[in-house]
Structure formats: structure tokens, C-alpha cells
A and B are shown apart, each in its own frame.
Chain A
């Protein structure tokens, strides 16, 4: 297990440096200029631009800029946002909210997704299965900002069940509707994934053996089918954090959830390019760490993974 964790850690290091370098190189190599972009269509006073450039170390050579940034990450310094607040301070205030929203969303999508996928797989070709397939396809096709507005309109404005915007300290009750929206796309993928693996596992020898030795259908489904069908689902939830990051940006922006996503959303809307770059980098790091954690957890769950060379 120790070797497995070490190996995963070693794998993530080059990816971390590569990804951050890639983001920095893009910003550096593209024809546009994040400082000029700040000025919008009217342009900035050259003196202001030069001062800002010095503040963000943009007057240094590319590799020096990159090293300053990466060095900063290791001491918890992610730079300064456009409003002058340190990014790490904003993160400390917003990250817990995003974490709660993400936890709620992952819980909703995995519980609902696995249950519906299981029933769907067991009743292949029946009405429930066909409707689950159609509904999941619709959830996959509808972009998350459309889902968000429809939810806001139906549940917030028409039915009045939930508030359309979340309060400043983001109480759990307010987060439920945004969490459902955030969960919608992944929920659909989990339904389909669970259904597929349940159908495949139904034909496995160990299921036939379990039935033949007289286990109740309930126990066969719970222990032999469901457990084995969860393996690909756990993998999916790990890789799903990328989708979750993008979804959180849009959902938090629309529902006004005071999280990391909304900060990025507002920076994008106000075209504050340096803040956008910092926060996308932060999100990529969160994504990598989350993936690493899920992989390690996965190693605990499935012994076969640990020993794969």
C-alpha cells in the first residue's frame, strides 16, 4: 500500500509541474496581454500598465515568473487578486463553501445515480429502464447553465420552494438546489455506468454460483452485483472532479453561492485575466489533489489495483 501511494505521488508531480507550466506558457505566448485586457476596450494608461506589470512580476522573463509562482504555491501564496486581496485569503473564505456544495452534489449524484442505475440494469428493457435512459440522455445534453436557470425558474420563482440566490454564509438548506443542479450531469453518467456494469455482472459466473448455492436474490444483488458494479463508478467519481469544477463555476455564479467558483465566474465576467489565471490554476491543483485522494482511496477499496505494475 505504501508503495502504491508513493507511486501515485510520484506520478502526480510531473503532471502538476507540466499543467501549471502549460497554463503559464499559454498566457505568456498568446498574442493578448492580461494587463491590457484589464483596461477593456478603452485601454490602460501606460504608467498604470507598467506598475501592474511590475506588481505581477510580468516584467520578468517567463521562466522566472513561473518559478516565482510555483515557489509561492508551496508556501501557500497564490498571488494577489485584482482587488488587491491575496488569493490565499479569498480561498480560505470561499473554499469551505465550495467543498460543502461539492460534497452535497457528489452525495446526491452517487446515491441517486447508483440506485436508479441498479434498478435500471436489473429491469433491462422494461419501462423504468427505457425512461431512465431517456432522462439521463436529456441531463447529459442540457448544458448546466440551462439546468440552473430552469431550476431557478421552476423551484425558485414558480413553486417558491427554494431561494434563487444563496445567503452570504451559505446555509445547507440554500445549497440543496444548486447541489442538485451541479449533480445533474454526473448523475446521468453514473446511472448509465451503473446500469452497464450491473448488466455485465448479472451474467458473471460468481452471480450464478451465488444464486445456485441458495442465496436470496436480495443478498445476491446487494453483495455480489452491487459491490462489483461500484468499482467503475468510484473511478468515474474520481475523474469527474474536472466536470464538477466547471459546473461549480457556472452554478455558483448563477446561484450566487459564495464559493471558489463564483470568484472565478465574476473574474471572468469582469475580464480580470490575472485573477482568472490564478483561480484556474487553483482549480487544476484541487482537481489533481482530489484525483490523487480518490485513487488512494480506490487502492484501499480494491486490492487488485494496488498490485498492478
Chain B
């Protein structure tokens, strides 16, 4: 009786390390699980631009929180005999026409800009997320109604809407909060649109269907499964929008319908310096630089975040 030859003699059997099975063995159980945000964070920390933007943002926040660390002068202490004087000891950037210290005014103006920027961003993010999420997730008539409302708000450029509101609001009511509400109330549609679009594409994912199959309620599905997976573009648009809100504040203050006269504002200082453009341009240039660098820091940060969160953007750089 001849026994059957072993299988390996008649058939080719691949060694284990040439089969797909080896991939299973290669998975390290101890490795920390990664997700979009961890990957993005790792990617961001490798970029010089992240540190440039981060430094700018950090500086703005510190100056806004602790202005006295940077100057011991009172920005409202103005002496007409220093009118349009060049820089001198203790006054590195010279004086305005009213004899105020330019540097001190810039330092104290930071807080107004950042406050308006943060409050507007909070309003826009809350309104945009609520409206965009409801419209995108529930669809049908909810979407139809909310999207049409969004179209109407979108038709009025938000700075022009704020111009109307601030022109009507009495002078004594023009506070940081009112100004932020006036800007934020019309700036939300773009955030809502972006989130709605994202939710529409996430909604049909398998994990949403499995959540539904497991009996998770609609609202909980939205909150726990759909929103966290659609929020990335909102983070990007929010960071860039913060810069936009600061520009809006400066523009309105420049037009004289922004913050009241007892609050420091770069836009207002630029408006006052415009008439001395010929003989003392630096009183206009310095607050302009502060304003532009602040906005640039936030927009740059938004770009870095976008590059990190969006794999398509990563390929483009």
C-alpha cells in the first residue's frame, strides 16, 4: 500500500509571511487607536506654519488678557502738547494727533478685537451648528424651511446687515455684546451650509445605519454618531471666521458705528488717523499692522487646521 503523498508535494502552499494572514499578526494590540483628530494633531505639530500662527494667536490672547504686562501707561491719558510727536523714551511708537500714546492704545485695543471675535464666533458656531445639523439630518420640510431662511440671511452681506443694525441702535447701547450680536446674527449661514452638506454625505454611512438598527434614537444618532463625524469642516471655517469677525468689528468701528468712544478699538484709531495720512502716517500704520497681524494669525491657523483635517488639502500643499 503506498500512502498518499503529502499535500505540499502536489500543491503549492505559500509560506505564512507571503499570505494576507500576516497582516493580522502585524497589528499591534498595544498601539493607541488613532482617529482623524489625533492624526491631524500629529500632522500639525510637524509644520512651521503651525508654530508661526500659534505664536501670533498666543500673543494676541496674552496681550488681551493682561494689557498691563505690556504697558504701564493709560491709553486715555492724552496731552495735546505731545500732538503728533515722534517716538521718544517710553513711547516707542510716538503720539496721535490728540497726544495719546500709540503703543498703549494698540495694547488696550487688542481686548476689544479679540472679545468681538470670540463672541461672534460663539454665536455663529451655535446658530450654524444647530440650524445646519437640523436641516441636514432631518431633511424634508425641516431642511426646506431652514435652508430658505438661510438663503434670505445669506442674501444680506453680514457687514451691511450690521451697518443697518448699528446705525439704528442708539449710541449709548453700542456695546461689545450688541456689536457682536449684530455681526453674528447674519454671519451663520455659511457655517450652516457647510455642516448641512457634510451631514448629508455622512448620513448614508454604514455606522449610521448600524446605530439605527441597534435602536438608537434619531436625536442620539445625530448627537453621538453623525455630528462628531461631520464637524471637521466647521472647525476650519470657525477659525478662519474669527479673523473675519475681527475685520468686521474694525470696519464698523472705522465707519464710526462700532464700539463707543470710551472703548479702545484699532478700527476707530485708524479712522482718526486717516486725516493725518500726509504728515504723520505712522499713527495709521501701527494699528493697521496690529490688526492685520492678528487677523493673519487666525486665518493662518485656520489654513493649517484645514490642511491637517482634509486629506485632499494635504495632497495640494
Contacts and interface: CB of A to CB of B under 8 A. Distances in A.
Contact of A149 (B173, B257, B270, B295): B270
Contacts of B295: 141-143
Nearest to B252: A268
A199 B256 CA distance: 43
A265 B254 CA distance: 11
B157 interface: yes
B255 A268 contact: yes
A115 interface: no
A137 B299 contact: yes
A246 B255 CA distance: 12
B169 A268 contact: no
Given A140-B299, A141-B296, A268-B167, A22 B152 contact: yes
A280 B160 contact: yes
B209 to A, nearest CB: 26
A146 interface: yes
A288 interface: yes
A32 B151 contact: no
Secondary structure class of chain A's binding surface, majority of residues? helix
Given A140-B299, A149-B277, A246-B157, A276 B163 contact: yes
Nearest to A36: B170
A140 B155 CA distance: 22
B167 A34 contact: yes
A137 B288 contact: no
Contacts of B299: 137, 140-141
A211 interface: no
Given A23-B156, A199-B316, A246-B251, A41 B171 contact: yes
A236 interface: no
What's the dominant secondary structure at chain B's contact region? helix
Interface residues of A, number: 56
A32 B254 CA distance: 21
Interface in A111-149: 124-125, 137-138, 140-146, 149
B167 A143 contact: no
Nearest to B148: A14
B292 A22 contact: no
A271 interface: yes
Interface in B258-272: 267, 270
A269 interface: yes
Nearest to B157: A242
A26 to B, nearest CB: 6
B92 interface: no
A26 B152 contact: no
B255 A269 contact: yes
Interface string B161-188: 1011101111101000000000000000
A31 B165 CA distance: 10
A246 B251 CA distance: 10
B159 interface: yes
Contacts of A31: 169-170, 173
Contacts of A288: 155
A277 B292 contact: no
B102 interface: no
A141 to B, nearest CB: 4
B251 A124 contact: no
A170 interface: no
B135 interface: no
Contact of A271 (B148, B165, B167): B167
Interface in A245-269: 245-246, 249-250, 254, 264-265, 268-269
B221 to A, nearest CB: 28
B300 A149 contact: no
B155 A287 contact: yes
Interface hub of B151, B153, B156 (most chain A Cβ within 10 A):
B156
A141 B157 contact: no
Nearest to A253: B255
A294 interface: no
Interface in A172-218: 196, 199-200
B101 interface: no
Contacts of A146: 270, 288, 291-292
B274 A149 contact: yes
Contacts of A102: none
A150 B285 CA distance: 8
B272 to A, nearest CB: 12
B195 interface: no
Most chain B CB atoms below 10 A, which of A16, A145, A200: A145
A14 to B, nearest CB: 6
B201 to A, nearest CB: 17
A269 to B, nearest CB: 6
B278 interface: yes
Given A265-B255, A271-B167, 5 more contacts: A15-B155, A32-B170, A149-B284, A254-B274, A268-B255
Interface of A: 14-16, 18-19, 22-23, 26-27, 30-34, 36-37, 41, 124-125, 137-138, 140-146, 149-150, 152-153, 157, 196, 199-200, 242-243, 245-246, 249-250, 254, 264-265, 268-269, 271, 273, 276-277, 280, 283-284, 287-288
12 contacts: A18-B148, A18-B155, A19-B152, A19-B156, A30-B168, A143-B247, A146-B288, A146-B292, A153-B281, A196-B316, A250-B254, A268-B163
The 6 closest A-B pairs by CB, nearest first: A18-B152, A242-B157, A141-B296, A146-B288, A19-B155, A141-B295
Interface of B: 148-149, 151-153, 155-157, 159-161, 163-165, 167-171, 173, 243, 247, 250-251, 254-257, 267, 270, 274, 277-278, 281, 284-285, 288, 291-292, 295-296, 299-300, 303, 316-317
